[in-house]
Structure 1
């Protein structure tokens, strides 16, 4: 039997696809809205007279919309043209960001435009792009996914520094306008040049037909992925949005706090590269569990030790450990679940991550307002990561007949 090449692999050369996808993840709104929110928060609070909880409620609402948006993105990734999906999302992002910066809006207008930008960003997010890269690099999948998310971390390093400098120079509104222009040049343009649609791809009767949702929900790995994603995000995701005010609370200057946020991005970069290299060489379950336990030490250090220069080291270490999670989740989906439902499988995993992240962000704001500091939040995050470290052990190695089983389900399932 002749195996047809993956249509995704024909989007362009593997290297161009990987480079384009990495730039999109790094410099589109999905790469900076959450990461830089802590940098914008003080200026937004001052502008609108909001409390910390009111300010972060906008981010919380955004992340809690994800359970609706991510499955829709997964369906689109399995059904629609990748190039059209990504470019359309980026156009909406650019328009919304420019409006945030150039149109004088009040509280409601700001909230709506922020939420529209966040919603659009899912079309150019890890769900469609990781599926494309995972399919194109079947032999060195772990390394490719690690490089994809490591490339995306370049944005996590640069964006907080860029946003902090822009807010000081042109105000928070001007900063959003410049970030909109950045999205156009560094994300939309690479999407136009490097992401190519498949043309004339031969199709078989079943292999190219996406399986139905029932195929996904019958897989044993799904529950492990959901528990893993939720508790991991509950433990680390809220920290990314609260890191700048947390470091300022620990007697660091605003400039030092922004550098700390950028160094978290450095850690994420190193963590994704490490995960990509290790996933192709080490068993998945113990590696994933270890990488969930390591950041517990960093969180306890921030909660229990007095402020000091070691905060920077702890922050970077936290980024290294948590940076492995995105690449690992995408790898596990591509390895343990049928390709026919890979887009939706990753989207469901991301729903769990988004729910955990939204709840974590709200808990961080609420516990800070209640106690006056972030210590309780840090302890709760450490406890959540400890719980998360158990879930990868529920994964079972895929049987050799996964592809035949998936094809059988694809014939019977309805989309």
Structure 2
């Protein structure tokens, strides 16, 4: 006999396909995804045109994610108060304007940095906290799978954007490549308009329900700080390696197009990993999943150091496993450990922490290259940090028993 509960849960993904489409495409064309996934393709063209060092160019991501760390907690509070739909639809056009401003960059690093900061401030509603909040409120039985599908959008963007951006740069220049990113950002607007419920009662776009007032009691929880530390270590390593991959491979003798092809492997691996992780999160203990992925990525760094260019495909695939992992894990773990009533605020504070950490990864890797003319130390450091993050994840307690229905 068929289990009635199973029948009730089986169509959850199909029943909410519009919301799932909106969050998947929205996360793919968010400020973080567009600027981070394509960043490596701009490093050498900007250096050649303006004479900036790779460390100086990497500071753009440092400032961007540093400011994002500051705006994430208030953004989470706004999401809890006003819902996802309003903030997403308001942010997308402003994000496109910021990307157009990047295409007009003069020879001023300050202008370049300001545009990156502007993108995450005015485009803040496109941050992962917005889309993951919609998923966590909509899905319960297949929450992990839904998050995996959503974050696979960022993986596919990481696969396609280096190739598209490199082609545009080689064809008409880097300025037109930033203009292309602006068009991609705008492409998410009609899908979000149609995908998110318009009525206040629509789960994915509705404000949070429950007791009024804001409580910061979660800050006294060791679990909160354990998740934050583990994700910060992982993001520092994975973002530093991702952004450095294209210039690292070009330095070994590859053309820009070939290096972009390897970067596409990162994105495809990330997309596949997000789907697999989402499937496993509904069935296995999340820290075990995180530990396996991080140890594989650390092994990729060691192989590349040992074998060089022949190991580049392996490095790309294994970096892809860990790229963005902390974002979907935090989305799932916050809901499991802390519930949904203050999801936006808790996720926002935690996201600010590992965003700040991710900000330093590319800049530190760039300055290491400037000082040593090699990325070897960055690879060693990335492997060590991933191993440390593994042990921290394994310190998490078992999930608390709570009602998993959407709030």
The answer for unaligned runs of 5 or more in structure 2 is: 1-13
Q: Does 1:137 align with 2:168?
A: no
Tell me the alpha carbon deviations over residues 124-177 of structure 1, each in whole angstroms, 9 at most, x when there is no partner.
111011011012111111111111101232211111111111111221111111
Residue in structure 1 matching 2:60, options 36, 58, 61: 58
Per-residue CA deviations over 1:49-83 (Å, capped at 9, x if unaligned) read 21111111222221222220211221122112311
Distance in 2 between the 1:229 and 1:75 partners? 21
Describe the shift of the 1:52–1:399 C-alpha distance in structure 2 as closer, same or farther (beyond 3 A). closer
Find the aligned partners of 2:379 and 2:287 in 1 and give their Cα distance: 25
In the TM superposition, residue 313 of structure 1 has moved relative to its aligned partner by: 2.8
* Cα distance per residue 1:6-26 (max 9 Å; x no partner): xxxxxx952111101110111
> RMSD of aligned C-alpha atoms?
2.2
Q: Flag the 1:401–1:118 CA change in 2: closer, same or farther, 3 A.
A: closer
1:180 to 175, 182, 192: 182
Give how far 1:295 is off. 0.7
Match in the other structure for 2:360: 359
Q: Which runs of 5+ in 1 are unaligned?
A: 1-11, 408-415
TM-score (norm. length: structure 2): 0.89
1:161 maps to which of 163, 166, 183: 163
Q: 1:401 to 1:17 in 2, by over 3 A?
A: closer
Cα 1:163/1:266, change in 2 over 3 Å: same
In structure 1, what is the Cα distance between the partners aligned to 2:279 and 2:352?
Answer: 26
Query: Using the alignment, how far apart are the partners of 2:219 and 2:17 within structure 1?
Result: 33
Aligned length: 387
Corresponding residue of 2:200: 199
CA contact (8 A) 1:32 1:155 kept: yes
Paired position in structure 1 for 2:282: 280
8 Å contact kept, 1:210–1:340 = no
The corresponding residue for 1:18 is 20
Task: Tell me the equivalent position of 1:394.
Answer: 395
Cα displacement (A) at 1:237: 1.3
Q: Tell me the equivalent position of 1:99.
A: 101
User: In the TM superposition, what is the alpha-carbon distance from 1:113 to its structure 2 partner?
Assistant: 2.0
TM-score (norm. length: structure 1): 0.87
1:411 aligns with none
Q: Does 1:112 align with 2:111?
A: no
The whole-number CA distance in structure 2 between the counterparts of 1:88 and 1:181 is 16
What is the aligned partner in structure 1 of residue 190 from structure 2? 189
Instruction: Give the SS at the match of 1:119.
Output: helix
Worse overlay, 221-230 or 340-349: 340-349
